[in-house]
Amino acid sequence: MTSAYPEIYQAWKNDPQTFWGKAFALIDWHKPATKIFDPAQGPYGRWFADSECNTCYNMLDRHVEAGRGDVPAILYDSPVSGQKNRFTYNETLEQVMRLSAVMQDFGIQKGDRVLIYMPMVPQALFAMMACARLGAIHSVVFGGFSADELAARIDDATPALIIASSCGLEANKIVSYKPLLDKAIATAKHQVQHCLIHQREQCVCELIAGRDHDFAELCEQAAGRDIPCTPVKATDPLYILYTSGTTGKPKGVVRDNGGYMVALAWSMGALYDIHPGDIFWTASDIGWVVGHSYIVYAPLLIGATTVLFEGKPVGTPDAGTFWRVVADHKVKVLFTAPTALRAIKREDPDGKLLHQYDLSSLEALYLAGERADPNTLEWAEQMLNRPVIDHWWQTETGWPIAGNPRGLGVLPVKHGSTCVPMPGYDVQVLDDAGHPAKTGELGNIVIKLPMPPGCLPTLWQADQRFHEAYLDEFKGYYKSADAGYMDEDGYIFIMSRTDDIINVAGHRLSTGSMEEVIAGHPQVAECAVIGIADKLKGQIPCGFIVLKAGVTQPHSEIETECVERVRDQIGPVAALRTVLTVHKLPKTRSGKILRSTMQKIADHEPWKMPATIEDPLTLNEIRDCLHQRGIGTCSEATKPAA
């Protein structure tokens, strides 16, 4: 099949306003736009600025009105609680209407902020949509975040209401949210008047009289109340999502209503080939942008069915869980992070668990969230015998910058590449001086302004910070802070964050290219490379590897072989002399490896425990491992900064 991508991308480039004007028709509007793009508004212009809409109406009401109310909207599957549930569009609308009524009784109205602190449960989705229905702005905080981080977000967003669950569930433990919430509210300067608490049977918490209210009880009392959708401007905020930075004040990415809906609706058909009635599973968390966009908003906007999964790729109960969910729910497209796939591969390298399930419904697997090494991609392709597509985007963009658009006809796959830019994104590669890089030359990945619909228009109450973080360094461009290159066919290769480019004796080297080589070792499950300060060369690379389950070969042999692989495939210029074996790599809860923190530990620089870290003990292992081998300037005294 010949892909329509080249002509569609060119059509966008020739006339962006006509292109997005056609996509505008994918959404129902209370008031249509008379101007598709207004360059005079915002830092780089605004899309559909004079139109009015309601996101919840487009997710629920219009499908019910079209006679599709009995179609499943949400399939809830929770191996950690043993529960499964199914909500049709009719049932979802009823639940959202009830919660909207409760929120209205608390005085919530257009423009108010509502903080949502919940695990992967249907009530969290109802809360997000109820906010959208009322024109309120939600801010979802990953369930189980520390009290200090939660307090910082309370002070920044100043919510009028908090909706929280009593606890979250993991494979072998219950994480109680209420003590964290109580401490955060006590710590925050902003005074929260009301909390709506969703009690889970695994951990029923005490409610504070006058402030805390029972979610289920009030929603039951609101049954039957009809709460109409509140029209908002297309440019009004739908939500604030705080990025997972490791230092400083949280950075609140703002997402608008209209442009976001248009971009998501277009992407579902063109990129993922998902249409009304199809079953789409994004195995992420609603606390991250992937969960916002492709668990909650995009599938329901187009009338598809979304799978809401409360579990892990391994350990709930085993590495076959993902394939069980695909088989049980007849999933058409699965979207997850490379780290999840690597975890499955480590536990089940031969796919014995995978082959126990009927995966005939599955047409493609999409990956995003971090760089997908070719070795993992090839393993997944071999096991699944289906397209495995890496694509690239960011919290800030809200939807993919680059990918392989199945809905337009699949393009040839190049392992290591996130394929081609989507319409709306004029992606370029610049050197540090802002000049165009040569084909195949490593540089700064940037996007020529204006950004397309759906991307952040600014940061919450921080316009100057928005300019400084994204627009000032390369005038006329959005700085992605990712490093990579483009080949002769226009394919994009994201190698690392710009912070992860290391300078070895004057040579700028990508840690990602070294990781790619190390990951190709047959015994290595996953790896990370960091740059460590060196008096002679400026920096030298150091690798960390996690081995596959059941490996019996001596670790020292594998480490030596990894060093030799890098020397053979990249060359002596890489100067990789050391590879260390660890049990686990330090990662955020969304699966990103904490390379910057690892580098600070190695260089004995002050560092802070990242708020988003999944397992703090992994950093202790990194520190101890470096110290035992006498590597870097680290010592046993290397501790988190106060």
Instruction: Give the pLDDT score at 508.
Output: 65
pLDDT tens per residue, range 78-137:
999 999 999 999 999 999 999 999 999 999 999 999 999 999 999 999 999 999 999 999
Report H helices in 106-214. 122-134, 147-157, 178-187
Instruction: Give the pLDDT score at 642.
Output: 45
Instruction: Give the pLDDT score at 41.
Output: 94
pLDDT at 612 > cutoff 90? no
> In 3D, which of 189, 186, 187, 190 has the Cα closest to residue 208?
186
pLDDT at 558 > cutoff 80? yes
DSSP 3-state percent helix, strand, coil across the chain (nearest 5): 35, 25, 45
> CA angle 434-495-339, nearest 5°?
145
pLDDT at 395 > cutoff 70? yes
DSSP assignment string, 77-89: EETTTTEEEEEEH
Q: Are 79 and 316 in contact (CB under 8 A)?
A: yes
Instruction: Give the pLDDT score at 476.
Output: 97
SS (H, E, C) 388-421: EEECECCCCCCCCCEECCHHHCCCCCCCCCCCEE
Please state the rounded mean pLDDT for residues 401-412.
Answer: 97
Instruction: Give the pLDDT score at 374.
Output: 86
- Give the dihedral sign, CA 446/449/454/455: positive
Instruction: Give the pLDDT score at 638.
Output: 47
User: What homologous superfamily does CATH list for 5-311+391-484?
Assistant: ANL, N-terminal domain (3.40.50.12780)
CATH topology of domain 505-628: GMP Synthetase; Chain A, domain 3 (3.30.300)
Token pair recorded at residue 475: 């005038």
- If one counts every other C-beta atom within 10 angstroms of the C-beta of residue 586, the result is 25
> CA angle 87-297-413, nearest 5°?
110
Average pLDDT, the chain: 93
Q: Rounded to whole angstroms, how far apart are CA atoms 167 and 41?
A: 42
Q: Rounded to whole angstroms, how far apart are CA atoms 178 and 211?
A: 13
Q: Are 235 and 457 in contact (CB under 8 A)?
A: yes
pLDDT at 527 > cutoff 60? yes
pLDDT tens per residue, range 140-152:
998 888 888 899 9
Write b or e for each residue in 12-23: b if 16 or more Cβ atoms lie within 10 A of its Cβ, otherwise e: beeebeebbeeb
Instruction: Give the pLDDT score at 610.
Output: 83
> In 3D, which of 123, 179, 187 has the Cα closest to residue 154?
187
Instruction: Give the pLDDT score at 18.
Output: 97
pLDDT tens per residue, range 427-466:
999 998 999 999 999 899 999 999 999 999 999 999 999 9
Instruction: Give the pLDDT score at 411.
Output: 96
Q: H-helix or E-strand containing 517? A: helix 511-519
pLDDT above 90 coverage of the chain, percent: 79
60-69, 433-442, 562-571 — which is least confidently predicted? 562-571
Please state the rounded mean pLDDT for residues 554-565.
Answer: 95
Q: Are 585 and 544 in contact (CB under 8 A)?
A: yes
DSSP assignment string, 351-392: -TTGGGS--TT--EEEE-SS---HHHHHHHHHHH-S-EEE-B
pLDDT at 637 > cutoff 60? no
Q: Rounded to whole angstroms, how far apart are CA atoms 152 and 631?
A: 36
Please state the rounded mean pLDDT for residues 236-251.
Answer: 79
pLDDT at 162 > cutoff 90? yes
Torsion-angle region of 481 (φ positive above 0: left; ψ -120 to 50: alpha; else: beta)? left
Q: Are 134 and 110 in contact (CB under 8 A)?
A: yes
Collapsed DSSP state (helix, strand, coil) of residue 481:
strand
> CA angle 99-53-108, nearest 5°?
35
Collapsed DSSP state (helix, strand, coil) of residue 257:
coil
- Give the dihedral sign, CA 389/393/394/398: negative
- Written as one letter, the residue type at 633 is T
pLDDT above 70 coverage of the chain, percent: 97
The DSSP 8-state label assigned to residue 274 in this structure reads -
pLDDT at 608 > cutoff 60? yes
Collapsed DSSP state (helix, strand, coil) of residue 400:
coil
Most confident of 247-261, 319-333, 544-558, 561-575: 319-333
Instruction: Give the pLDDT score at 636.
Output: 39
Instruction: Give the pLDDT score at 248.
Output: 56
For the chain, the domains span: 5-311+391-484, 505-628
124-138, 241-255, 264-278, 595-609 — which is least confidently predicted? 241-255
Please state the rounded mean pLDDT for residues 40-64.
Answer: 97
> In 3D, which of 449, 457, 306, 407 has the Cα closest to residue 26?
407
Token pair recorded at residue 112: 């108010």
User: Binning pLDDT at 50, 70 and 90, where does residue 244 land?
Assistant: low
> CA angle 478-373-470, nearest 5°?
10
Instruction: Give the pLDDT score at 369.
Output: 83
Token pair recorded at residue 403: 């990918």
Q: Rounded to whole angstroms, how far apart are CA atoms 141 and 246?
A: 15
Q: Is the peptide bond before 317 cis (omega within 30 degrees of 0)?
A: yes
Q: What are 541's strand-pairing partners? A: 531
> In 3D, which of 334, 321, 394, 412 has the Cα closest to residue 366?
334
> In 3D, which of 35, 93, 37, 34 has the Cα closest to residue 65?
93
pLDDT at 634 > cutoff 70? no
Burial class (CB in 10 A: 0-12, 13-18, 19+), 275: middle
Q: Rounded to whole angstroms, how far apart are CA atoms 422 and 594?
A: 28
pLDDT at 247 > cutoff 60? no
pLDDT at 420 > cutoff 70? yes
Q: Are 172 and 147 in contact (CB under 8 A)?
A: no
pLDDT at 640 > cutoff 60? no
Q: H-helix or E-strand containing 556? A: helix 555-569
Q: Are 240 and 458 in contact (CB under 8 A)?
A: no
- Written as one letter, the residue type at 37 is F
128-142, 206-220, 268-282, 430-444 — which is least confidently predicted? 430-444
pLDDT at 179 > cutoff 80? yes
- If one counts every other C-beta atom within 10 angstroms of the C-beta of residue 320, the result is 21
* Residues comprising the chain, all counted: 642
- Written as one letter, the residue type at 69 is G
Query: C-alpha dihedral over 43, 27, 251, 337, to 10 degrees?
Result: -130
Report H helices in 30-85. 55-56, 62-65
Please state the rounded mean pLDDT for residues 386-407.
Answer: 96
Token pair recorded at residue 412: 């040839």
- Written as one letter, the residue type at 225 is R
Q: What is the pTM of this model?
A: 0.87
Angle between helices 16-23 and 258-270 (to 10 degrees): 90
